[in-house]
Structure 1
Amino acid sequence: MLNSNGPLRYNEKERYRVIELFALWEGRVNTTHLQNVFGIGRQKASEIIGSYTQRYPQNLDYNASAKGYQLTDEFTPWHAGSSFDEYYHLLTRAGHNDYLSFLQTGFSLLEAPLRNISPALVQPIIKAIREKRRLDIGYASVSSPEYESRIISPHCLVFDGIRWHVRAWCEKNQQYRDFVLSRFSGEFEFEGPSEHTAEDDERWNTWLDIVIEPDPRLSPAKKRIIAMDYQMENNQRIIPVRAALVLYVWQRLRLDHYAQDPEAQQITITPESHKAIKPYLP
């Protein structure tokens, strides 16, 4: 029997997350959803939903005509996020499961041409981050295409939407820098404890606001559409970002190139915001 009152185990949280995702994005959830996602029987699936409704009675109501539980007006997700991506990834991940043939919702994702990152490449970096250790590792760059030894003190892995980066103190350059993860050779040695941590990374700990707005050259009607696309309020959207990551957001929003056609440009950055982030751009 699942625990409906005490602390939740990991598998219970995951099951409750799936319940909330289907309820939130499809409007209902039933035993068939859980049977197909987790490969369990109807009785077990019914038990899981029963445990969920006992713990969160305000979230779901059973509707016989809908043949499932529907979310109520008081529905509050405790385990699922509010991002549509989370629901999408549940279906696409589960789509590799033969149980989920009934969930062919019709998604298509344009994949970026990412280099496959091997576990052997990531493991020493993760260990160095967690143990706050210095790492001597081979690295190649566009300016120095041959692998050379770099002693770094990594503190975070960053995904910019296209590539993975390692934020680290570089002993060669005596500053915090971003290293493209796929450019490491994988050959490494640990060099003892690091004296440079995330707390010392000034750009990492400096937060800025990128304030975007519809291109001023657009008509009011077109500005309204752009504002809807980007969920703007009063024709502006504030995007908080670490100073160390400003460039990646700048590029992803396509603000690094100015289009002559306002409909191609769509959004611009406010002059005040541009002035604030300019020191952190190339």
Structure 2
Amino acid sequence: MTGRGPHQLTQWQRDRRAFIEHRIYWHGSIGLADLMDVMGISRAQASKDLNEYIADHPGHLFYDKSARTYVLGDDFEAHYLSIDPSEYLADLAAIARGAAVPNSEWVVDLPDILTPSIPSRGLPARAVRNVLMACAQRRILTVEYQSMSSAQPITRDIAPHGIAHEGFRWHTRAYCFKDHVFKDFVLSRILNSELAGTAEIDPDLDTDWVEKITLHIAAHPSLSDNQRRIVELDYGMTDGTAQVVVRKCLLFYNLKRLGLDTDPDTRDPQDQHIVLVNRSEVQTALGRKSA
């Protein structure tokens, strides 16, 4: 590398170089007008930025005279930007939904994006606010809560310390003074709530929240060699396995989401692509006997 290194640049210069890398990598080309419009700089400054970038990182991008624009070079690698395809696709999906996404103006190519249609969950604003405040201020929250195990709502005191989303619903993790245990409370089932006094409950005592369980997954052994290889690519497996670390309190939800909550023989391998290698260990963590 020649010229200045990343540590010698101002944050504003680094931000402009991050934009250059974002546009050149995800779009394949960048022009002076792109830098001028998005970063709000002059034509002279845009030209200087691109030329200095090329000088510091030869082969990363070059000027294509026929296209009259700068294009991606064979030696490109990111120095000022994290190239994370999962994060980028999530940003594209969020932009398509109309959500506010940092640096959304950097994105040029936005294809039609479809995501599963999931019924919206009713989230009472007051309950969410009070839960968040109780977590931050370590306070007791008196809630009127409708559980599925009781025909009528029950008023109880809880001490929330965290928030979790299991892929479908939002929960608060809290100590329940009625049952004297840490439990999950679905936010949409909190009918009424009032902040009360200080909660003298140590969140570190919630062992199911603190403890982590590692799921060791592998491609279903009944798949063909080629099918197993593509599943290994799908799940980013190394040497035929991948590890998924989950909090114990979310273990059931993670297993269900991955289709690992039942015996693998109950579903066709072409439908259930992965199996749980350490099934006995995970069943023990769930408090069940291995089938």
- Match of residue 242 from structure 1: 247
Query: Where does residue 26 of structure 1 map in the other structure?
Result: 27
1:122 to 121, 128, 153: 128
Residue 91 and residue 212 in structure 1: after superposition, are their counterparts in 2 closer, same or farther (change >3 A)? closer
Which SS does the other structure have where 1:263 is aligned?
coil
How many angstroms does 1:62 deviate by? 4.9
How far 1:171 sits from its partner (Å)? 1.2
Q: CA deviation at 1:251?
A: 0.8
Counterparts of 1:87-98 in structure 2 under 5 Å? 87-90=89-92, 92-93=94-95, 96=98
Letter in 2 for 1:93: I
**Maintained 8 Å contact 2:174/2:185:** yes
1:209 aligns with 2:208: no
Distance 1:68 1:248, change over 3 A: farther
Aligned equivalent of 1:267, options 274, 277, 284: 274
Question: Match for residue 63 of structure 2?
Answer: 64
- Work out the CA distance in 2 between the residues paired with 1:49 and 1:249: 50
User: 1:87-236 to 2 correspondence within 5 Å?
Assistant: 87-90=89-92, 92-93=94-95, 96=98, 103-185=109-191, 187-236=192-241
Residue 236 of structure 1, CA deviation: 0.9
Unaligned runs of 5+ in 1: none
Contact kept? 1:134, 1:194, Cα under 8 Å: yes
**Does structure 2 conserve the Cα–Cα contact (< 8 Å) formed by 1:20 and 1:80?**
no
**What does residue 86 of structure 2 align with?**
84
Question: Could you tell me how far apart the structure 1 residues matched to 2:79 and 2:272 are?
Answer: 36
CA-CA distance at 1:32 after TM superposition: 5.7
Partner in structure 1 of residue 77 of structure 2: 75
Deviations 1:182-229 (A, max 9, x none): 1112x2222222222332211122122101111122232322222122
Contact 1:58 1:75 in 2 (8 A): no
Residue in 2 that maps onto 1:252: 257
* Distance change (3 Å), C-alpha of 1:265 and 1:175: same
Q: How many residues align?
A: 269
* Cα distance between partner residues in 2 of 1:34 and 1:165: 43
Aligned counterparts of 1:167 and 1:173: Cα–Cα separation in 2: 14
Change (3 A) 1:262 1:57: same
State the distance in 2 between where 1:265 and 1:43 align.
Answer: 55
CA distance in 1, matches of 2:168, 2:185: 14
Judged with a 3 Å threshold, the aligned counterparts in structure 2 of structure 1 residues 220 and 100 are, in CA distance, closer, same or farther, namely closer
Provide the TM-score with structure 2 as the length reference. Answer: 0.74
In the alignment, residue 128 of structure 2 is paired with which amino acid? V
Question: Matched residue of 1:275: which SS?
Answer: helix
Alignment TM-score, normalising by the size of structure 1: 0.76
Q: Distance in 2 between matches of 1:254 and 1:78?
A: 38
Contact kept in structure 1, 2:35 and 2:46, CA below 8 Å: no
Cα deviation for residue 80 of structure 1 reads 4.2
Q: Deviations over 1:214-272 (max 9, x none)?
A: 112223232222212211112111111111211111011011234342212211101xx
Q: Relative to 1, partners in 2 of residues 1:129 and 1:106: Cα closer, same or farther, differing over 3 Å? A: same
- Could you tell me how far apart the structure 2 residues matched to 1:156 and 1:138 are? 19
CA contact 2:223–2:270 (8 Å) conserved in 1: yes
Question: Aligned partners of 1:267, 1:103: CA distance in 2, in Å?
Answer: 33
User: Cα offset for 1:130?
Assistant: 1.0
CA distance, structure 1, for counterparts of residue 17 and residue 188 of structure 2 = 36
- SS in structure 1 opposite 2:227? helix
